[in-house]
Chains A and B, each alone.
Chain A
């Protein structure tokens, strides 16, 4: 455990060296969030029909998803990818820790560190000036915290499985490029999932990606409470188990065919 925490710590300290990049990133994300808020407000002004979410809830949902954007914006983990390409992966095998565990924590750290760095200032600014509501209740806050932690664990597991697939594809360009499009749509970043058409709902609800953004923030707004919130989080953990098992299995297979050259 200590080894894994050390990795997370190293990642944080590395990132903190790029403070100006983070500030620029926050500015850009706030700008995009502001545009999206205005677009959704215009949609709500255009129709009197009852909607599954109020305009105020959508505004909060947008700010929350902008703040945690980097949690859902991922491809393969770049450091491991570089090792797989260069052959440095052989060194990884000599380390006295479980290889999957180590790669998983690298992938998790790669998601968590930049997300936290950007989320906190964005949430504060959005709450103070831009219409982000407070959580619906204390229990809503509790559920959403639990769900966002589960979402982070899921992001790590998906990212690890994608990274391990590089043992076969090497470049990873395909998966790194195409996955974000699917994840964006089905996590709720582009359009909050409750606003999707009714016929799409069963597909959207079954997908793993709603655990990243939609479950935590529906819980925050009090739209998912009690059993429904619990079921959402349980579903996220089922998907975590699936991706971890797939990742472990691929890694096992991949290492069997690994040939380390040189002496």
Chain B
């Protein structure tokens, strides 16, 4: 059986499991939709009061918001298996994965696909459609392609972060909560153009965790605005690739982690 069909078989099992608790799934999905929706209403209230933020209107910020939220929702749903790695290690279940003739990262990835994240995804798609409509932009093929690439780069970036967080479990057993600053905090910060933040903060989210590359830079190209931070058009079009590079580096760390793994318990 090739990897793709095996993956879908794993995921089908996971989804069937989640669908045993249909009401619970619906409530969770609805809750994600409402919580993120309410946050956006708060944002809209601020725009009503202040008009703009650093020259950006609500539909423009809506585009930033939707790009990062869609990417995060997908990354929360798909590589979910890495989130439960701490548990796998503590019960010794991780040892079982090592015995099977498939890549370990593949097996962890295929553990679960968390459907309830569809709530955040749906809310973000609504915001994206609203912004795309409210913005005075002609949605040409290159624009749409760049938008999709930026979102795909974002999925890679956040997946890489979740994998890094999981990799630390090989040393600490417990999951490191402080990484949430970069995942959940990254989504929060990425909802606005990076140029509004302090210099050091911007640099962290450009060069260490390259959030700006899947959001700030491509959004400038999509909106056709010139960047006050001085990025060129070429950089804006290529920058989503940084998400892929980040994921590749994370997977290298993961490999080191697996090699370091020495089982827990007796």
B40's nearest neighbour on chain A, judged by CB, is A190
Which residues of the other chain, B, contact A38 by a CB distance below 8 angstroms? Answer: 196-198, 201
Cβ of B42 under 8 Å from chain A: yes
**Of B35, B55, B176, B185, which is within 8 A of A181 by CB?**
B35
Which residues of the other chain, B, contact A181 by a CB distance below 8 angstroms? Answer: 31, 34-35, 38
Q: Nearest 7 CB-CB pairs, A to B?
A: A177-B31, A42-B196, A24-B177, A190-B42, A181-B35, A47-B50, A31-B181
Structural contact, B177 and A196, CB atoms closer than 8 A:
no
Q: How far is the CB of A151 from chain B (nearest CB, A)?
A: 20
**Scoring B residues 19 to 35 as 1 if CB is less than 8 Å from chain A, else 0, what string do you get?**
00000100110110011
Total contacting residues, chain B, CB less than 8 A? 34
Cβ of B255 under 8 Å from chain A: no
Q: How far is the CA of A196 from the CA of B27 in the complex (A)?
A: 28
A38's nearest neighbour on chain B, judged by CB, is B197
Q: How far is the CB of B66 from chain A (nearest CB, A)?
A: 17
Cβ of A246 under 8 Å from chain B: no
**Scoring A residues 167 to 188 as 1 if CB is less than 8 Å from chain B, else 0, what string do you get?**
0000101100110111011000
Total contacting residues, chain A, CB less than 8 A? 36
Q: How far is the CA of A177 from the CA of B177 in the complex (A)?
A: 21
Cβ of A45 under 8 Å from chain B: yes
Q: Can you name 12 A-B residue pairings with CB atoms under 8 Å?
A: A28-B181, A35-B185, A36-B188, A38-B197, A39-B196, A46-B54, A47-B49, A177-B31, A181-B34, A184-B38, A185-B42, A197-B49
Cβ of B180 under 8 Å from chain A: yes
Which residues of the other chain, B, contact A44 by a CB distance below 8 angstroms? Answer: 50
Structural contact, A200 and B45, CB atoms closer than 8 A:
yes
Give B contacts to A, CB under 8 Å.
Answer: 24, 27-28, 30-31, 34-35, 38-39, 41-42, 45-46, 48-55, 176-178, 180-181, 185, 188-189, 192, 196-198, 201
Q: Which of A181-221 contact B (CB under 8 A)?
A: 181-182, 184-185, 190-191, 195-197, 200
**Of A34, A46, A174, A197, which is within 8 A of B48 by CB?**
A197
Structural contact, A191 and B42, CB atoms closer than 8 A:
yes
Q: Which of A212-257 contact B (CB under 8 A)?
A: none
A-B contact count (CB 8 A): 92
- Given A24-B176, A24-B177, A47-B50, 11 other A-B contacts at CB below 8 A? A28-B178, A28-B180, A42-B196, A46-B51, A181-B34, A181-B35, A184-B38, A190-B39, A190-B42, A197-B45, A200-B45
Cβ of A27 under 8 Å from chain B: yes
Cβ of A88 under 8 Å from chain B: no
Q: How far is the CB of A179 from chain B (nearest CB, A)?
A: 9
Q: Which of A12-54 contact B (CB under 8 A)?
A: 21, 24-25, 27-28, 31-32, 34-36, 38-39, 42-47, 49, 51
Give A contacts to B, CB under 8 Å.
Answer: 21, 24-25, 27-28, 31-32, 34-36, 38-39, 42-47, 49, 51, 171, 173-174, 177-178, 180-182, 184-185, 190-191, 195-197, 200
Structural contact, B53 and A46, CB atoms closer than 8 A:
yes
Q: How far is the CB of A192 from chain B (nearest CB, A)?
A: 10
Q: How far is the CB of A152 from chain B (nearest CB, A)?
A: 24
Q: How far is the CA of A11 from the CA of B16 in the complex (A)?
A: 39
Q: How far is the CB of A168 from chain B (nearest CB, A)?
A: 15
Q: How far is the CB of A200 from chain B (nearest CB, A)?
A: 7
Structural contact, B46 and A191, CB atoms closer than 8 A:
yes
Structural contact, A47 and B51, CB atoms closer than 8 A:
yes
Q: How far is the CA of A195 from the CA of B197 in the complex (A)?
A: 21
Which residues of the other chain, A, contact B41 by a CB distance below 8 angstroms? Answer: 185
Which residues of the other chain, A, contact B189 by a CB distance below 8 angstroms? Answer: 35
Structural contact, B53 and A43, CB atoms closer than 8 A:
yes
Structural contact, A173 and B55, CB atoms closer than 8 A:
no
Q: How far is the CA of A51 from the CA of B46 in the complex (A)?
A: 11
A185's nearest neighbour on chain B, judged by CB, is B38
Structural contact, B24 and A171, CB atoms closer than 8 A:
yes
Q: How far is the CB of B56 from chain A (nearest CB, A)?
A: 9
B49's nearest neighbour on chain A, judged by CB, is A195
Q: How far is the CA of A171 from the CA of B197 in the complex (A)?
A: 42
Q: How far is the CB of B4 from chain A (nearest CB, A)?
A: 34
Structural contact, A46 and B42, CB atoms closer than 8 A:
no
Q: How far is the CA of A46 from the CA of B57 in the complex (A)?
A: 11
A196's nearest neighbour on chain B, judged by CB, is B45
Q: How far is the CA of A123 from the CA of B43 in the complex (A)?
A: 26
